[in-house]
Amino acid sequence: MITHDLTPTRPDYAGGSIVNLMSSIGEALGAAPSGYAPLRLLPVEVARDARRIALVVIDGLGAELLNHLGTESALLAHCEDHMTSVYPPTTASAITSFMSGLAPQQHALTGWFMHFRRLGAVTAVLPFVARYTRSPLRRQGIDPAALIDAPSFASRVACETAMLQPDELADSDFSRLLGAGARRDGYRGLDDFAARLAAFVRGDDATRYLYAYWPELDRLSHLHGPSSPAVAAHFQALDRALGALLKAAKDNGTLLIITADHGFVDSTPAERIDIGPQSALAQALSLPLCGEPRSAYAYVQADRQADFLGLAQQTLGDHARTVPSQQLIDDGWFGLGTPHPELKPRIGDFVIQMNGTASIRDRVVGEREFEMYGQHGGISAAEQRVPFICIRP
């Protein structure tokens, strides 16, 4: 079992986060400065001098997990340091940062479940479905571009770019929107993923930048927990597949960067706090909880605002700290600079940040049951720190 580092950790947007990584890559490829400094670990000139750049994002491979599983791995051997993710450290927010080059402060995608004011509903943003159903909102005539206005990274750079994603994601609403301007390629399975990466590393076409995404480690970590044998076995398969690319990248002038969107903690259903519809906490809310099981956004009824902090403490005790949402914006959790006008409405009145390895959950009518043994999206170092694996040409 992994001994998780639960130290509260804020993203380092001043030069140590995945947003800064995208600034290094973006400026090297001709993008205008985003307002975020380049990554301290990757000077712009290093990226600019490479013939091509491949960014491989392994969903869920936090720095802690890599250190635990990768003792003799090629990936750990080429890991130079760690970066921080964004807040919350979760796929919806962090992948949007990779695909736009911006922090949540500017792109305003703040978690798996989000309340869009213009839609009047809580949605699961990546599949773009209402929380209570699996039916895509596009089938109901709703264009995601009317709600999500983050620019694509490909539209900001001055070169040919491509995205490599699983077949089932490559043509999704989210991929088409955040991948606008890039060639979108799908793959089937790890062998196909590695073969297509190898072709790019060799320079088989004129594409200068590739964003490649692998989600299976995240799925297994949710289902079984990051400390499980299933996750360990999958990591070994990944290390073999990607390790074979490292020398080819160096020999062909390709800057190969491998990282993740977030880390994980083991968190079983027994550690979950369920908020039933008749509980005092639920009765004080005006909407279902949004965000993540480790960082939940609470929309509170107007006449319960004054006593909500006390009610949360009474209900959750030492399992959570509850913070006014505006305080987290002011303290720089979501990013630097001017916030997106929809950021505050998308994080509710209070944020419930879970301590230890606890999580929180409520249910809406029609929502399916889904048990998880691994979680992310919280404030711990285990969730926040991701590896910076770099092969320099």
Instruction: Please give the domain boundaries of the chain with CATH numbers for all domains.
Output: 18-266+379-391 (3.40.720.10), 269-375 (3.30.1360.180)
pLDDT for res 138: 86
pTM: 0.97
Q: What is the pLDDT of residue 366?
A: 80
Per-residue model confidence (pLDDT) at position 8: 98
Q: Which residues of the chain have pLDDT under 70?
A: none
Question: What is the per-residue pLDDT for 130?
Answer: 87
Position 21 scores a pLDDT of 98
- Categorise residue 182: left if φ over 0, alpha if ψ from -120 to 50, beta otherwise: beta
Helix (H) or strand (E) holding 335, with range, is none
Q: Kindly tell me the sign of the dihedral angle through the C-alpha atoms of 104, 106, 112, 115.
A: positive
The predicted structure's pLDDT at residue 163: 98
| Spatial CA neighbour of 31 closest among 101, 109, 104 | 101
Question: What is the residue whose two structure tokens read 């929380």?
Answer: 131
| pLDDT at position 93 | 98
pLDDT for position 141: 87
